[in-house]
Chain A
Amino acid sequence: ELKVEQNPLFLSMQEGKNYTIYCNYSTTSDRLYWYRQDPGKSLESLFVLLSNGAVKQEGRLMASLDTKARLSTLHITAAVHDLSATYFCAVSRRYGGATNKLIFGTGTLLAVQP
């Protein structure tokens, strides 16, 4: 059974600081996704990582994937208040002809303090 664990569950950061969110998964996966969710809103796709060593960056966020360690990280550089949200990682596997059922982590609630 594919399981996904995120840590920390809650992260309080000061503006300008750096931090990393970790996502571990239990079995081989085809893809690793990162999403952002603002309170009361839907999920916004941030990154999709497809292969070992993949690194993607958008603004102050950078995601990486190590398939051998079954680990993805979401690194936040010089945090700003606008980054406050819940961040989810998710992994998918293909089963026969059906593809991309996402298994989500528990989420990391990020609060950036001034």
Chain B
Amino acid sequence: SQTIHQWPATLVQPVGSPLSLECTVEGTSNPNLYWYRQAAGRGLQLLFYSVGIGQISSEVPQNLSASRPQDRQFILSSKKLLLSDSGFYLCASHDSGGLGETQYFGPGTRLLVL
């Protein structure tokens, strides 16, 4: 089965600072990869998904961007953080190009923007 790593686990950043969150996946190849955000006490919102290296689709207009430099690496970035970027960021993987049985989630990064 696949394993998803995310770092850092927790991050406190000032408004206007840059951001880089990393996600790597083991135990699968050619996965679909996803970034979700969960605001406190809320459900999950899909931010970006990727079906392959260099292929990124954005779901909602926002201050963030994503990149996929390698098959099993997915990065979430921002040039200037906003207060509203605070939340719990979850990377997810769905193997076999999305045809695998289920979507697995990483441990998450908790981001607080002050």
Contacts and interface: CB of A to CB of B under 8 A. Distances in A.
Interface of A: 33, 35, 40-45, 48, 88, 90, 92, 94, 97-107
Contact of B46 (A88, A97, A102): A102
A104 B103 CA distance: 12
Contacts of B103: 33, 45, 92, 100, 102
B12 to A, nearest CB: 16
Interface in B51-94: 51, 57, 59, 90, 92, 94
Contacts of A100: 32, 94, 98, 103
Contacts of A97: 51
Interface of B (DSSP majority class):
strand
Interface of A (DSSP majority class):
strand
Given A42-B105, A48-B102, A105 B43 contact: yes
A45 B104 contact: yes
Interface of B: 32, 34, 36, 42-46, 49, 51, 57, 59, 90, 92, 94, 97-99, 101-108, 110
B32 A98 contact: yes
Contact of B32 (A42, A48, A99, A103): A99
Contacts of A98: 32, 49, 51, 57, 98
Contacts of B44: 43, 88, 90, 102, 104
Contacts of A40: 110
Nearest to B91: A42
Contacts of A90: 44
Contacts of A104: 43-45
A43 B105 contact: yes
Contact of A48 (B97, B99, B101): B101
A43 B108 CA distance: 9
A45 B102 contact: yes
